[in-house]
Protein backbone atom coordinates (compact mmCIF):
# COMPACT_ATOMS: atom_id res chain seq x y z
CA UNK A 1 0.00 0.00 0.00
CA UNK A 2 1.15 3.56 -0.71
CA UNK A 3 2.11 5.86 2.14
CA UNK A 4 1.77 9.58 1.93
CA UNK A 5 4.82 11.70 2.51
CA UNK A 6 2.80 14.80 3.12
CA UNK A 7 -0.50 15.42 5.00
CA UNK A 8 -2.15 17.31 2.15
CA UNK A 9 -1.57 14.42 -0.28
CA UNK A 10 -3.01 11.97 2.24
CA UNK A 11 -6.14 14.08 2.90
CA UNK A 12 -6.63 14.66 -0.84
CA UNK A 13 -6.47 10.90 -1.39
CA UNK A 14 -8.99 10.32 1.40
CA UNK A 15 -11.41 12.83 -0.08
CA UNK A 16 -11.08 11.19 -3.51
CA UNK A 17 -11.84 7.82 -1.97
CA UNK A 18 -14.92 9.28 -0.30
CA UNK A 19 -16.08 10.88 -3.52
CA UNK A 20 -15.94 7.49 -5.20
CA UNK A 21 -17.66 5.91 -2.19
CA UNK A 22 -20.59 8.32 -2.18
CA UNK A 23 -20.99 9.16 -5.84
CA UNK A 24 -20.41 5.97 -7.81
CA UNK A 25 -22.68 2.98 -7.97
CA UNK A 26 -21.26 -0.51 -8.01
CA UNK A 27 -20.73 -3.62 -5.89
CA UNK A 28 -20.95 -3.44 -2.09
CA UNK A 29 -17.79 -2.38 -0.28
CA UNK A 30 -16.08 -4.65 2.25
CA UNK A 31 -15.87 -3.16 5.73
CA UNK A 32 -12.17 -3.99 6.01
CA UNK A 33 -11.33 -1.86 2.98
CA UNK A 34 -9.03 1.06 3.72
CA UNK A 35 -10.58 4.51 3.51
CA UNK A 36 -7.39 6.32 4.46
CA UNK A 37 -3.82 5.61 5.54
CA UNK A 38 -2.27 7.90 8.11
CA UNK A 39 1.39 7.08 8.78
CA UNK A 40 1.39 3.65 10.40
CA UNK A 41 -2.37 3.63 10.96
CA UNK A 42 -5.18 2.61 8.64
CA UNK A 43 -8.75 3.86 8.82
CA UNK A 44 -11.05 1.12 7.60
CA UNK A 45 -14.49 1.56 6.13
CA UNK A 46 -15.93 0.05 9.32
CA UNK A 47 -14.01 2.54 11.49
CA UNK A 48 -15.36 5.35 9.35
CA UNK A 49 -18.96 4.09 9.32
CA UNK A 50 -18.86 3.59 13.10
CA UNK A 51 -17.72 7.18 13.54
CA UNK A 52 -20.55 8.45 11.32
CA UNK A 53 -22.98 6.40 13.40
CA UNK A 54 -21.71 8.09 16.57
CA UNK A 55 -22.39 11.46 14.98
CA UNK A 56 -25.89 10.32 14.00
CA UNK A 57 -26.59 9.35 17.62
CA UNK A 58 -25.10 12.54 19.03
CA UNK A 59 -27.27 14.92 21.07
CA UNK A 60 -25.58 17.77 19.25
CA UNK A 61 -27.71 19.04 16.37
CA UNK A 62 -24.58 20.16 14.50
CA UNK A 63 -23.03 16.68 14.68
CA UNK A 64 -26.28 15.05 13.57
CA UNK A 65 -26.47 17.44 10.65
CA UNK A 66 -22.85 16.75 9.73
CA UNK A 67 -23.56 13.04 9.45
CA UNK A 68 -26.32 13.60 6.86
CA UNK A 69 -24.41 15.14 3.95
CA UNK A 70 -21.44 14.03 1.83
CA UNK A 71 -19.62 17.25 2.75
CA UNK A 72 -20.25 16.64 6.44
CA UNK A 73 -19.10 13.03 6.18
CA UNK A 74 -15.87 14.19 4.54
CA UNK A 75 -15.32 16.49 7.51
CA UNK A 76 -15.83 13.55 9.83
CA UNK A 77 -13.03 11.72 8.03
CA UNK A 78 -10.85 14.82 8.20
CA UNK A 79 -11.34 14.74 11.97
CA UNK A 80 -10.36 11.07 12.15
CA UNK A 81 -7.24 11.81 10.08
CA UNK A 82 -6.33 14.74 12.32
CA UNK A 83 -6.77 12.64 15.47
CA UNK A 84 -4.55 9.92 14.02
CA UNK A 85 -1.83 12.42 13.10
CA UNK A 86 -1.71 13.96 16.55
CA UNK A 87 -1.95 10.59 18.29
CA UNK A 88 1.02 9.20 16.37
CA UNK A 89 2.98 12.39 16.98
CA UNK A 90 2.30 12.11 20.72
CA UNK A 91 3.42 8.48 20.73
CA UNK A 92 6.59 9.30 18.80
CA UNK A 93 7.40 11.97 21.37
CA UNK A 94 7.06 9.35 24.11
CA UNK A 95 4.14 11.02 25.87
CA UNK A 96 2.13 8.91 28.31
CA UNK A 97 -0.82 9.43 30.62
CA UNK A 98 -0.16 9.98 34.30
CA UNK A 99 -1.56 7.72 37.02
CA UNK A 100 -4.39 10.10 37.91
CA UNK A 101 -5.62 10.22 34.30
CA UNK A 102 -5.42 6.43 34.01
CA UNK A 103 -7.57 6.13 37.15
CA UNK A 104 -10.12 8.49 35.60
CA UNK A 105 -10.20 6.33 32.48
CA UNK A 106 -10.74 3.19 34.56
CA UNK A 107 -13.51 4.92 36.48
CA UNK A 108 -15.16 5.96 33.20
CA UNK A 109 -14.92 2.39 31.88
CA UNK A 110 -16.48 1.15 35.12
CA UNK A 111 -19.38 3.58 34.85
CA UNK A 112 -19.94 2.80 31.18
CA UNK A 113 -20.06 -0.92 31.97
CA UNK A 114 -22.55 -0.28 34.81
CA UNK A 115 -24.73 1.76 32.46
CA UNK A 116 -24.58 -0.98 29.86
CA UNK A 117 -25.60 -3.57 32.46
CA UNK A 118 -28.56 -1.48 33.61
CA UNK A 119 -29.66 -0.77 30.02
CA UNK A 120 -29.38 -4.44 29.13
CA UNK A 121 -31.38 -5.47 32.20
CA UNK A 122 -34.16 -3.00 31.36
CA UNK A 123 -34.12 -4.19 27.76
CA UNK A 124 -34.52 -7.82 28.82
CA UNK A 125 -37.56 -6.92 30.93
CA UNK A 126 -38.99 -3.70 29.48
CA UNK A 127 -41.71 -1.60 31.05
CA UNK A 128 -44.91 -2.48 29.19
CA UNK A 129 -47.52 0.12 28.20
CA UNK A 130 -50.04 -1.62 30.44
CA UNK A 131 -47.80 -0.92 33.46
CA UNK A 132 -47.54 2.73 32.49
CA UNK A 133 -51.29 3.06 32.10
CA UNK A 134 -51.92 1.26 35.40
CA UNK A 135 -49.56 3.61 37.25
CA UNK A 136 -51.20 6.64 35.65
CA UNK A 137 -54.69 5.55 36.66
CA UNK A 138 -53.70 4.61 40.23
CA UNK A 139 -51.81 7.88 40.75
CA UNK A 140 -53.99 10.27 38.80
CA UNK A 141 -53.71 12.94 41.52
CA UNK A 142 -50.01 13.26 40.72
CA UNK A 143 -50.78 14.35 37.18
CA UNK A 144 -52.95 17.34 37.91
CA UNK A 145 -52.25 20.90 36.84
CA UNK A 146 -53.50 22.91 39.78
CA UNK A 147 -55.84 25.85 39.39
CA UNK A 148 -54.05 29.12 38.72
CA UNK A 149 -55.26 32.67 39.14
CA UNK A 150 -54.00 35.76 37.39
CA UNK A 151 -53.68 38.42 40.05
CA UNK A 152 -52.83 42.09 40.28
CA UNK A 153 -52.44 44.05 43.50
CA UNK A 154 -51.76 47.38 45.03
CA UNK A 155 -49.41 47.23 48.03
CA UNK A 156 -48.43 50.10 50.33
CA UNK A 157 -46.84 50.45 53.75
CA UNK A 158 -49.72 51.81 55.80
CA UNK A 159 -53.38 50.99 56.21
CA UNK A 160 -54.23 54.67 55.79
CA UNK A 161 -52.63 54.71 52.32
CA UNK A 162 -54.45 51.51 51.41
CA UNK A 163 -57.82 52.91 52.51
CA UNK A 164 -57.27 56.01 50.39
CA UNK A 165 -56.32 53.97 47.29
CA UNK A 166 -59.22 51.56 47.79
CA UNK A 167 -61.60 54.51 47.77
CA UNK A 168 -60.01 55.84 44.57
CA UNK A 169 -60.39 52.48 42.83
CA UNK A 170 -64.05 52.34 43.85
CA UNK A 171 -64.48 55.82 42.43
CA UNK A 172 -63.35 54.49 39.08
CA UNK A 173 -59.63 55.30 38.96
CA UNK A 174 -57.45 52.90 36.98
CA UNK A 175 -56.23 50.03 39.20
CA UNK A 176 -53.04 49.43 37.19
CA UNK A 177 -52.12 53.11 37.14
CA UNK A 178 -52.54 53.41 40.92
CA UNK A 179 -50.36 50.30 41.39
CA UNK A 180 -47.72 51.81 39.11
CA UNK A 181 -47.73 55.06 41.07
CA UNK A 182 -47.86 53.63 44.61
CA UNK A 183 -46.67 50.03 44.90
CA UNK A 184 -43.74 49.39 47.23
CA UNK A 185 -42.60 46.12 45.60
CA UNK A 186 -41.20 45.10 42.20
CA UNK A 187 -44.69 44.91 40.66
CA UNK A 188 -44.68 48.73 40.60
CA UNK A 189 -43.04 48.49 37.15
CA UNK A 190 -45.72 46.05 35.96
CA UNK A 191 -48.80 47.92 37.17
CA UNK A 192 -49.21 45.46 40.03
CA UNK A 193 -49.19 42.35 37.84
CA UNK A 194 -48.35 39.20 39.85
CA UNK A 195 -48.85 36.82 36.92
CA UNK A 196 -50.43 33.38 37.27
CA UNK A 197 -50.36 32.18 40.87
CA UNK A 198 -51.04 28.72 42.30
CA UNK A 199 -52.81 28.31 45.63
CA UNK A 200 -50.26 28.16 48.41
CA UNK A 201 -47.62 30.13 46.53
CA UNK A 202 -48.23 33.36 48.48
CA UNK A 203 -48.28 34.09 52.20
CA UNK A 204 -51.39 32.70 53.92
CA UNK A 205 -53.28 35.97 54.43
CA UNK A 206 -52.83 36.96 50.79
CA UNK A 207 -53.55 33.45 49.54
CA UNK A 208 -56.78 33.09 51.54
CA UNK A 209 -58.12 36.40 50.29
CA UNK A 210 -57.08 35.94 46.65
CA UNK A 211 -58.59 32.48 46.25
CA UNK A 212 -61.97 33.54 47.59
CA UNK A 213 -62.41 36.08 44.80
CA UNK A 214 -64.36 35.47 41.63
CA UNK A 215 -63.12 36.59 38.24
CA UNK A 216 -63.09 40.38 38.08
CA UNK A 217 -63.62 40.84 41.85
CA UNK A 218 -61.46 42.97 44.13
CA UNK A 219 -60.64 42.34 47.78
CA UNK A 220 -60.76 44.71 50.67
CA UNK A 221 -57.54 45.60 52.48
CA UNK A 222 -55.40 42.55 53.27
CA UNK A 223 -52.53 42.88 55.76
CA UNK A 224 -49.40 40.74 55.37
CA UNK A 225 -45.82 41.15 56.53
CA UNK A 226 -45.14 42.87 53.21
CA UNK A 227 -47.67 45.63 53.74
CA UNK A 228 -51.32 46.39 53.02
CA UNK A 229 -52.73 44.91 49.80
CA UNK A 230 -55.72 45.42 47.56
CA UNK A 231 -56.04 42.34 45.36
CA UNK A 232 -57.86 42.00 42.07
CA UNK A 233 -58.54 38.65 40.46
CA UNK A 234 -58.17 39.01 36.69
CA UNK A 235 -58.67 35.46 35.40
CA UNK A 236 -58.79 31.75 36.32
CA UNK A 237 -57.20 28.68 34.77
CA UNK A 238 -59.20 25.76 36.14
CA UNK A 239 -57.50 22.64 37.44
CA UNK A 240 -56.97 20.05 34.73
CA UNK A 241 -55.76 16.49 34.39
CA UNK A 242 -52.62 15.90 32.37
CA UNK A 243 -53.15 13.50 29.48
CA UNK A 244 -51.57 10.06 29.69
CA UNK A 245 -49.58 10.56 26.48
CA UNK A 246 -48.10 13.78 27.87
CA UNK A 247 -46.72 12.10 31.00
CA UNK A 248 -46.01 8.62 29.61
CA UNK A 249 -42.27 9.25 29.23
CA UNK A 250 -42.00 10.60 32.79
CA UNK A 251 -43.83 7.56 34.18
CA UNK A 252 -41.51 5.26 32.27
CA UNK A 253 -38.46 6.95 33.81
CA UNK A 254 -39.96 6.65 37.28
CA UNK A 255 -40.82 2.96 36.89
CA UNK A 256 -37.40 2.23 35.41
CA UNK A 257 -35.80 3.94 38.40
CA UNK A 258 -37.91 1.79 40.72
CA UNK A 259 -36.80 -1.30 38.82
CA UNK A 260 -33.15 -0.26 39.17
CA UNK A 261 -33.63 0.18 42.93
CA UNK A 262 -35.18 -3.29 43.13
CA UNK A 263 -32.23 -4.65 41.16
CA UNK A 264 -29.81 -2.99 43.58
CA UNK A 265 -31.60 -4.64 46.50
CA UNK A 266 -31.39 -8.04 44.79
CA UNK A 267 -27.69 -7.59 44.11
CA UNK A 268 -27.07 -6.72 47.75
CA UNK A 269 -28.63 -10.04 48.71
CA UNK A 270 -26.62 -11.86 46.04
CA UNK A 271 -23.19 -10.40 46.75
CA UNK A 272 -23.59 -9.18 50.34
CA UNK A 273 -22.59 -5.75 51.59
CA UNK A 274 -20.60 -4.98 54.74
CA UNK A 275 -19.84 -1.39 55.68
CA UNK A 276 -17.34 -0.38 58.38
CA UNK A 277 -19.26 2.52 59.86
CA UNK A 278 -16.32 3.55 62.09
CA UNK A 279 -14.35 4.63 59.03
CA UNK A 280 -17.13 6.88 57.74
CA UNK A 281 -17.25 10.47 59.04
CA UNK A 282 -20.06 10.53 61.58
CA UNK A 283 -20.82 6.86 61.00
CA UNK A 284 -19.51 5.63 64.35
CA UNK A 285 -21.47 8.15 66.42
Pair (57, 192) in one structural domain: no
In a domain, 112, yes or no: no
Q: Is 71 among the domain residues? A: yes
259 shares a domain with 135: yes
Same domain, yes or no, for 231 and 253?
A: no
51 and 65 both lie in a single domain = yes
Categorize the per-residue pLDDT at 278 as very low, low, confident or very high, splitting at 50, 70 and 90: confident
Residues 6+ apart with CB under 8 A from 186: none
> Do 151 and 234 lie in a common domain?
yes
Asked if the structure places residue 80 within a domain, the reply is: yes
> What pLDDT band is residue 276 in, cutting at 50, 70 and 90?
confident
Domain co-membership, 234 together with 163: yes
* pLDDT, tens digit (0-9, with 9 covering 90-100), for 36-65: 999 999 999 999 999 989 988 888 888 888
List the CATH number of the domain containing 179: 3.10.50.40
**Nearest-angstrom CA–CA distance, 136 and 130:** 10
Q: How many whole angstroms separate alpha carbon 217 and alpha carbon 15?
A: 73
Same domain, 88 and 159: no
Q: What is the pLDDT of residues 64-111, one digit of tens each?
A: 888 888 898 899 999 999 999 999 999 999 999 999 999 999 999 999
Which of these, 125, 133, 228, 121, lies nearest to 183 by C-alpha position? 228
Long-range Cβ contact pairs of 197-202 (< 8 A, separation 24 or more): 197/148, 197/149, 197/150, 197/151, 198/146, 198/147, 198/148, 199/146, 199/147, 199/149
Count of domains observed in the chain? 3
State the average pLDDT over residues 187-195. 95
Same domain, 205 and 156: yes
Which domain range does residue 247 map to?
129-139+242-279
Residue 41 falls inside a structural domain: yes
Assess if residue 72 is contained within a domain: yes
Q: Are residues 23 and 161 in the same domain?
A: no
Q: How far is CA 63 from the centre of its chain?
A: 18
Tell me: pLDDT of 226 over 70: yes
Q: Are residues 230 and 246 in the same domain?
A: no
Question: For residue 105, is it within any domain?
Answer: no
Is residue 110 a part of any domain in this protein?
Answer: no
Are 34 and 61 part of one and the same domain?
yes
Specify whether 135 is located in the same domain as 246: yes
Pairing of strands 240-241, 144-145: antiparallel
Q: How far apart are CA 68 and CA 74, in angstroms?
A: 11
Asked whether residue 98 is assigned to any structural domain, the reply reads: no
Instruction: Compute the average pLDDT of residues 259-279.
Output: 91
Amino acid sequence: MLRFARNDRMITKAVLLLTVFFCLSGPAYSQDQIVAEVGKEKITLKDYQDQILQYEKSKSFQQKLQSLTPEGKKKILDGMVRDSLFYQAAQEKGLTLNEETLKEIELLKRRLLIRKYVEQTLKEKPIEDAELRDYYEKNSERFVILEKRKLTHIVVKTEQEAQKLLAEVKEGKDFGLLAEQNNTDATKKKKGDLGWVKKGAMVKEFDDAAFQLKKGEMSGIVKTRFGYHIIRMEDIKAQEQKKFEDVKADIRKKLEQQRIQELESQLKDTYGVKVNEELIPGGGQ
